[in-house]
Amino acid sequence: MSHDFDLVIRAPRVISPEGEVARVVGVKRGRIVAVESLDARVTADRFIELDPDVVLLPGLVDSHVHICEPGNTEWEGFATATKAAAAGGITTLVDMPLDSVPSTVNVEALEEKRRSAEGQCHTDMGFWGGVVPDNLDDLMPLHEAGVLGFKCFLGDCGTPDFPGIDVGQMEAALGLLRDLDTPLLVHAEAASSIPEMHGRQYRDFLASRPRGLENLAVAQVIEAARQTRAHAHILHVSSSDVLPMIATARRDGVSLTAETCPHYLTLCAEEIPDGATAFKCGPVIREADNRELLWGGLRDMVLEQIVSDHSPATVAMKEPEDGDFGAAWGGVSSLQLGLSVVWTGMRRRGFALRDVAGWMSERPAQLAGLPRKGRIAPGRDADFCVFAPDDSFVVDPAKLHHRHPVTPYAGRELMGVVRMTILRGRQTDLQHPQGEFLTRGAM
């Protein structure tokens, strides 16, 4: 059968909804319009012929990214963050509402953020709105202005213009968002109970953020979602204790989803040197046995998504001279490395590339309400990651595109190399931004 396309990709290995298959993918006006057998007769303006050593993945969707512009662009900006993302096979980012100034808690702040991002993005961009104690009346206007959903903290997150909310305020927000069919993303840590600590020893920092603080907050989220019948999403799960709680709630019919991050699946407390503040994040990186249970949560589909929680800062903020974990900024920057970090761990545990497509593309797109993203199928955007799963490289911070290439993965050998990223049918070149803004449910 002959078709006339703008672009045709011939790939012996395509990760499709049916698994890994050999296919011809036809693209017209930035959308996938056909996925056919490899011997299909087609015509096109451009052809990309892939070798058997690479796999065509759907472009990754990272729904948990702190870009910090405007206001803290010296930490990270749209240009540098989206370059790093595109270099790592990511085609869609969703920006968190805090760490920029102003925080995205009203329509005026959202408009300012979009003005800052205009013309800079090498990936498509969506935005979460924020829930803080005094902005319940702003949620509907933000929803109508196009945010993809909302994020809150239980307790103080340390950001003056993004205070945490209490359980009653969370229930009120969930009740409103239920009728909008949009999720509430919750940083589930009882942060008001976290004691101040200082020092170089990682074991002291770990002890200051015990699992119980996360476990308590997750229980509060579950009960609020149960009472309101709204969709709650638990961010960056680090405590394996919460896995049976989430599984039980789902069996009870609670609308609940949950994610984890590459650093919780790869790093472990026993291997973190004292003073190595590049490893500091919140929630904390826990023990090796806890890490293996998180992989089990992914295998059992209790955890459904893997996203970066890219949380950048300047070198001085991240690595104080005295290596004080209490003084250092908490966050791991991993946009460019996330796919390779996760794939390295997956190979050792018997997972397949179809799993990573679900965890890092399809289900983050579903959470954000982006029906055009996340799968290689007709009608979806022509977003692709060309990935060489058997190649390896050693992480060199000088080759990262983040504004400040501080990383706990420096010097680590990783499996899997991104050979090419394609956004809506056009290869990203990191010189010419081509990203668009996204709104929830847009077809």
DSSP string of 119-153, one letter each residue: TT-SSEEEE-EE--TT-GGGHHHHHHHT---EEEE
DSSP string of 243-259, one letter each residue: HHHHHHHHHTT--EEEE
The partner residues of 257 in beta bridges, in order of sequence, read: 233
Strands 31-36 and 60-65 turn out to be unpaired
Q: Is the pLDDT of residue 2 over 70?
A: no
DSSP string of 270-295, one letter each residue: GGPPTT-GGG--SSPP--HHHHHHHH
Mean pLDDT of 347-363: 97
Give CATH superfamily name and number for 59-367: Metal-dependent hydrolases (3.20.20.140)
Nearest Cα neighbor of 209 from 186, 234, 166, 238 is: 238
The SS3 assignment for 68 reads: coil
Are residues 64 and 307 in contact, defined by beta-carbon separation less than 8 angstroms? Answer: yes
Tell me: the pLDDT tens digits for 32-54?
A: 999 999 999 999 999 999 999 99
- The rounded Cα 302 to chain-centroid distance in angstroms is 17
Edge-to-edge strand ranges of the sheet holding 124-127: 60-65, 90-95, 124-127
What pLDDT is attached to residue 190? 81
Q: Is the pLDDT of residue 1 over 60?
A: no
Q: Is the pLDDT of residue 30 over 80?
A: yes
Are residues 413 and 394 in contact, defined by beta-carbon separation less than 8 angstroms? Answer: yes
How does the average pLDDT of the chain come out, rounded?
95
**Cα end-to-end span (Å), the chain:** 27
Tell me: the pLDDT tens digits for 182-230?
A: 999 999 998 665 667 889 999 999 999 999 999 999 999 999 999 999 9
Burial 196-222 (b: 16+ CB within 10 A, else e): eeebbebeebbebbebebbbbbbebbb
pLDDT tier, 134 (very low <50, low <70, confident <90, very high otherwise): very high
DSSP letter assigned to residue 362: I
Tell me: the pLDDT tens digits for 91-127?
A: 999 999 999 999 999 999 999 999 999 999 999 999 9
- The rounded Cα 67 to chain-centroid distance in angstroms is 12
Q: How far apart are CA 311 and CA 354, in angstroms?
A: 27
Nearest Cα neighbor of 339 from 384, 284, 302 is: 384
The pair phi, psi for residue 58, each rounded to 5°, is -65, 145
Whole-model pTM: value is 0.97
Residue with the two structure tokens 């509060």? 220
Task: Determine what percent of the chain is predicted with pLDDT higher than 90.
Answer: 91
The pair phi, psi for residue 64, each rounded to 5°, is -145, 85
Mean pLDDT of 145-168: 91
Task: Determine what percent of the chain is predicted with pLDDT higher than 70.
Answer: 98
